[in-house]
Amino acid sequence: MSEVANCTIYESPLSKRYASKEMLYIFSDQHKFSTWRKLWIMLAKAEQELGLNISNEQIEQMESNWDKVDLKKAAAEERLTRHDVMAHVHVFAEQCPIAAPIIHLGATSCYVGDNTDLISMKSALKLIIPKVAQVIHCLTNFAKEYRALPTLGFTHMQPAQLTTVGKRATLWISDLLMDERALSRCLSDLRFRGVKGTTGTQASFLQLFNGDGKKVKDLDLRVAQLAGFEKCYAVTGQTYSRKVDLEIVNALSSLGATIYKIGVDIRLLMSRKEIEEPFESTQIGSSAMAYKRNPMRSERCCSLARHLMSLQSNAANTFAAQWFERTLDDSANRRITLPESFLCADALLMTMLNITQGLVVYSKVIERNISLELPFMATENIIMAMCKAGGDRQICHEKIRVLSQEAGEQVKRFGRDNDLVTRIKNDKYFEPILPQLDEILNPQTFVGRAAEQVDEFIEDEVQPVLTRYAEDVANIKNVVLTI
């Protein structure tokens, strides 16, 4: 199909704009249908090993054609048969006439369908999880660099006690560590459906092996091993439980929520001009307002994450709606939900990696923003200092209250700078503590153990995880967003 013709057909933005080539291949038709053929070869090999009359020539013929998938011919066949698996069985059989009698022997459609999905999700998780570690690595470097830089903390989106830029980044990292743990658990828990037959009883395979249950059990495990799995699900219906899909989509959706939260924080900080995501020299922020530097990458993260989070309910409903051994109302849904969950997560991580590799901190803006609020936050410290110098707390409290109200009026009504410190310096009552005032107002004295918490958190919680991904972190590359 030509490029012009392609413009007349809808293409998912996930494949056209956002996801990586590696992830796109995992969920491509070529990978899917060639994996079906590999599974038929694995089944034949295992059945041959366990004594069925399958020749080496039959297996060799399948092996020489496994990657020669004729998608057009299979599509034409499916239009006739209304059955995707049998369409591909027929096309493969035409290419392998000697092997035709034993292709798909004893199996049901879910043998190739479900097992391929499990293989694909395993590969996709292995692609996703190291990218989570790479984002953690970049944010860890950021947290180290700004471990002690004071910044306004916010509660209820109102200025609160100071924290540090690095400490705030550890909150993002902490959530990502939970995502790494959840996704790694999904990967380690993932098993193979194996060869279970039409309702999961393995009746067809028991018949093939003349009632030898041990051989059927061995066949199940052997095919799993050939596919790269250590275990099969002990019991299944016609399909593996869609609870497996739900657990994985849950973990991906949770990752989406984490990235959404980080993206929102960055967007808010950009509005305050304290932090800025990467902005390229030729990048245009607005078609109308040439001066603008919009948080395009963080907004993309929030946009894609919102879609990813919505897929969790889809997976939950699909699992809940499966009747007895299976119904087919999961099929069309899963064709959309599973690939989109991974493609979306992949796109989010690449975008977040690009952001975290190039975050810019404007310390002077942060310092100015602190100066507007710190005098109010320091009033309790000033009262305590006056009491230590022999002052009466109630008198001091009233003095501070009046001066604070006057300074607040200047800020809110007239848009002027906070002049509370100047008012305190000009009031003779506070002369006993004036030599201490600069130290009392030093932002570093308001951040508690934030810097030490950064160091301890990285050493105790982050580094052990990053050590497991040392090779992925060492080979990290600068991510350039193509669009």
* Three-state secondary structure of 113-125: HHHHHHHHHHHHH
254 among known catalytic residues: no
Clarify whether 286 is annotated catalytic: yes
| Closest C-alpha to 164, from 457, 456, 449 | 449
Q: Are 92 and 33 in contact (CB under 8 A)?
A: no
Tokens for 227, please give them. Answer: 């596919």
Contact 302, 340 (CB under 8 A): no
26 within 8 A of 342, measured Cβ to Cβ: yes
CB 341 within 8 A of CB 311: yes
Catalytic site residue from 286, 303, 313, 363 = 286
What string of DSSP letters covers 422-451? Answer: HHHHT-GGGGGGGGGHHHHT-GGGGSTTHH
Q: Are 109 and 439 in contact (CB under 8 A)?
A: no
Q: Which residues pair with 155 in a beta bridge?
A: 158
Give the length of the chain: 483
Helices vs. strands in the chain: H and E counts, helices first: 22, 4
| Catalytic residue list | 156, 286
